[in-house]
Amino acid sequence: MLTQEVLISDPRFHIKADVTIPENWESNRGIVLVHGGIINRKSLSRDTNSLATYLCEKLNAYVITPDYLGETTYTGIRKFSLFSQVVDRSVQYLCDTFGVDDVMGFGHSMGSYIVVEAANLNDSISHLVTYGGPTQHLLKNREKGFLTYLLKYLYSFDYSVNLKNLLHNLFDAETVRYFKDVMMVEPEYFGENYDYILDPEVVQKGVESLTDHLDNLKRWGKPAMLLFGENDSLMKKSIKALPDGHRVDNILVKHVKRASHVTPCMDNMANLRKLDPMAIFHRNVVKAGSATQLHELPE
């Protein structure tokens, strides 16, 4: 297994991505990992234990992990709508370069919404898993309306949103601790590339995507799994509304025991193994065929 950094050029952007190559180079399976909104690709892909190396070895698949923030640069203004295009272009690179013809998408936190948009752009993505992407249950209509108004107001004055100051209010204790004590300290995480400053347009589009997340997945129509960490404070309302094992249309819901918001980013095997439902889901889809429907998969 080998991880290498690649630069993918495009008129719209210049993508920095990591590609993890399985020992069986003849594999035609691929995975694209999409990081969260305030951290970059190194949260999911490193030379040491990471979600990318774990899934590459476990599923014998090529794994590409692009930055849509971090080290990726844009030729014009950086917009939320371009993030899914970065993922789409990265999947195209994986398929063209390594002969991959079937890709599982994975999105963490805000990356959950971006990977769904990318799946609508790229037919090679046959199934999706998201983790820590809040659903519309997080915000009541009044809360959503006020937040949308506030973000539009800030955007009109070119303000920015510093999420670093909001960490304690947004995330569970394990996630805050891991950010501060590990990911912002150890050099392999390239913490200097993390961007805590988001313009309101990005946050506003994230809120809109949150509201439409389930409907967008249903319209996409292919097998999808929502993973919620039981200790993830952002997921409390989603967990209550969508119980473990819940199935609706093409979507399966699974709750991950003893998992926090940051679990996919952690670097020890005990935590990475908590995401094994994702590997089982992938194997079931591959076994049943990419055109399968969710109800045809085993429980």
pLDDT value at position 155?
52
The count of structural domains within the chain is 1
Q: What is the mean pLDDT of residues 247-259?
A: 95
Identity of the amino acid at 174:
E
Q: Does residue 146 have a pLDDT over 50?
A: no
Q: What is the mean pLDDT of residues 235-261?
A: 94
Query: For residue 68, what are the contacts with CB-CB under 8 A and spacing of at least 6?
Result: 34, 35, 82, 83, 86, 87, 114
Residue 149: exposure state from Cβ atoms within 10 A (0-12, 13-18, ≥19): exposed
What's the pLDDT tens digit per position in 30-83?
Answer: 999 999 988 899 999 998 899 999 999 999 999 999 999 889 999 999 999 999
**Residue 177 belongs to domain with CATH number:** 3.40.50.1820
Does residue 88 or residue 197 have the better pLDDT? 88
Three-class secondary structure of residue 297 per DSSP: coil
Mean of pLDDT over the chain: 88
Three-class secondary structure of residue 33 per DSSP: strand
CB 194 within 8 A of CB 42: no
Q: What is the mean pLDDT of residues 129-138?
A: 87
What's the pLDDT tens digit per position in 150-194?
Answer: 445 455 555 566 667 667 778 999 999 999 899 988 888 888 888
Q: Which residues form the domain of 113?
A: 2-296
